[in-house]
Amino acid sequence: MYRKIDQSEAKKIMDTEPCLVLDVRTEDEFVLGHIENSICIPVDELDKRLDELPDKKRLILVCCRSGKSSALAAEYLDKMGYENVLDFGGLVYWRYGYVEWD
């Protein structure tokens, strides 16, 4: 079962463990700013793009804009057999920096 974590725990994991940060916002939101080395698969495309994710044992940290879509995505990944899914919610609360594009 996936687990909800707070953002400080997510940042600590990103800094110390191999993981994939999955941003499930739209591509337009993603290009405005995102966590470094994250990948974007919008929540409404996740079912068609699962082949872009690593094996089902890999640690995946899921985020979105407000927290609603990340919870939906984490629940979906759990149902699809992904074993290490952590939902850290919305980037509107993220205080640890972005990669921003002009």
CATH number at residue 61: 3.40.250.10
| Domain annotation covers residue 100 | no
pLDDT in tens, 55-65: 999 999 999 99
| Domain annotation covers residue 101 | no
102: pLDDT strictly greater than 80: no
Range of the domain at 88: 3-93
| Domain annotation covers residue 14 | yes
3-state secondary structure labels for all residues of the chain? CCEECCHHHHHHHHHHCCCEEEECCCHHHHHHCECCCCEECCHHHHHHCHHHCCCCCCEEEEEECCCHHHHHHHHHHHHCCCCEEEEEEEHHHCCCCCECCC
Q: Domain count for the chain, please give it.
A: 1
> In which band, very low, low, confident or very high, does the pLDDT at 27 lie, cut at 50, 70 and 90?
very high
| Domain annotation covers residue 102 | no
Q: Are 21 and 14 in contact (CB under 8 A)?
A: yes
pLDDT in tens, 45-97: 999 999 999 899 999 999 999 999 999 999 999 999 999 999 999 999 899 98
